[in-house]
Amino acid sequence: MAAVELADIRQIRKQVGITQAELAYRAQVSQSLIAKIEAGTIDPTYTNAQKIFRALQELQGKHDTQAAELMQHKVVSIIPDASIPDAIKKMKKYEISQMPVAEKGSVKGVISEAILLDALVQGKHEKKVRDLMQDAPPIVPPATSVQVVSHLLQFFPIVLVAENGRMEGLISKADIVRKMYR
């Protein structure tokens, strides 16, 4: 927990959905101590504050959404030698806005509607996907937190999820919005 203060204890406790008594039990302190800290009427010892923050940190870790919970399991990809019309047809068929470019199980890059639209406007219909694709998106393990995935999606159109070298799924911004704000 970075830059967490005593004043944040109540908010964090409520975020993880526990009572003062439950937090006290987990931190091995009294419930009245938790109540007084949250009310701002007492300044706990360093040791007690550490116990409370450690308990909250453990609880937050248990409630973090992970990549495995966000990902789309069916990954639609295209080969680098595919034509631009083939890429457009595939995106329309599966109603997706971007997809990995892969060959023999290895991700080579990513192609998106924006890239394809740009190619069409510039008259590059005869190009291959390999000529237009962007660099490969980041690949994360299934246990990666939603915070990390969200940060990566600020810079990449998709994030791939893989385990033991095998692609398990794909996450886009829409997947996070769908999961986190239903």
- Do 71 and 53 belong together in one domain? no
Residues 6 or more apart whose Cβ sits within 8 Å of residue 34:
9, 13, 20, 23, 24, 27, 52
- Do 165 and 83 belong together in one domain? yes
Phi-psi label, residue 49: left if phi above 0, alpha if psi -120 to 50, beta otherwise: alpha
Domain range for 100? 67-180
Indicate yes or no: pTM above 0.75. no
The full length of the chain comes to 182
Q: What is the tens place of the pLDDT at every residue in 38-89?
A: 999 998 988 898 899 888 888 776 556 788 988 999 999 999 999 999 999 9
Tell me if 1 is assigned to some domain: no
Considering the chain, what is the average pLDDT of its residues? Answer: 88
Q: What is the CATH number of the domain that holds 13?
A: 1.10.260.40
By CB neighbour count within 10 A (0-12 exposed, 13-18 middle, 19+ buried), where does 117 fall? Answer: exposed
Q: What is the tens place of the pLDDT at every residue in 9-48?
A: 898 888 888 899 999 999 999 999 999 999 999 989 888 9
- Do 24 and 86 belong together in one domain? no
